[in-house]
Amino acid sequence: MQAEPIANYLVADSVVDWHDNAVRETASQVTTGLADDSAKARALFEWVRDTISHSHDAGREEVTCSASQVLTIGTGICYAKAHLLAALCRASGIPTGFCYQVYYEEYHVSESKIALHGLNAIYLKSLDQWIRVDPRGNKEAVNAQFDVDREQLAFPDLVFLDNRVYAAPLPQVVRELRLWPTRSELWLHLPTP
């Protein structure tokens, strides 16, 4: 995976706002008693995957973007959940970035559109390696896991946009999340490559 300087994956900004008190407190609570970066990253991944509902799966209409919004409201689509996982990991000193897969979303009987699916890459210093994880949330036919030896993503058959680990979310992802007031509207305008 192609990465930027490691310090870029620890930055706090308006989307990956790990400087927020609630984000920092959640990261601390979830990782209490865990010593190494792999155990902490696994705990944070599983917490986001299993605790924060995927808005579409849960039938919720809220659109969240920043990590603190996702945490406060308790829901988000794939991109937003990836923003929260990145913030929680960064608050724990674990460099984390973003990766994107490409898929076709069926949204009308006779049409489909190309869209992006967002997930994370986490740098584990103890193993000197990046691993990709997908905190989207499991459901029937989706079984994303944290595995340092073999990727177990939500959608293993989707191709990746590229081989990069982005330090910040793609601008088109942030723009669409901030533009649409409901998930139903956003679903018709998902970010594209």
Question: Could you tell me the CATH number of the domain that includes residue 147?
Answer: 3.10.620.30
The pLDDT, as a whole number, for residue 1 is 80
Task: Please report, in tens digits, the pLDDT of each residue of the chain (193 residues total).
Answer: 888 999 999 999 999 999 999 999 999 999 999 999 999 999 999 999 999 999 999 999 999 999 999 999 999 999 999 999 999 999 999 999 999 999 876 544 445 678 999 999 999 999 999 999 999 998 888 999 999 999 999 999 999 999 999 999 999 999 999 999 999 999 989 999 8
Q: Phi and psi dihedrals of 165, rounded to 5?
A: -110, 110
Buried b (16+ CB within 10 A) or exposed e, 115-142: bbbbbbbbbbeeeeebbbbbbbbbeeee
The domain total for the chain is 1
> What is the per-residue pLDDT for 193?
87
Q: Is residue 166 part of a domain?
A: yes
Residue numbers of the domain that contains 53: 7-184
CA distance 124 to 94: 7
Domain contains 190: no
pTM above 0.85, yes or no: yes
Nearest of 66, 65, 67, 74 to residue 89 by alpha carbon: 67
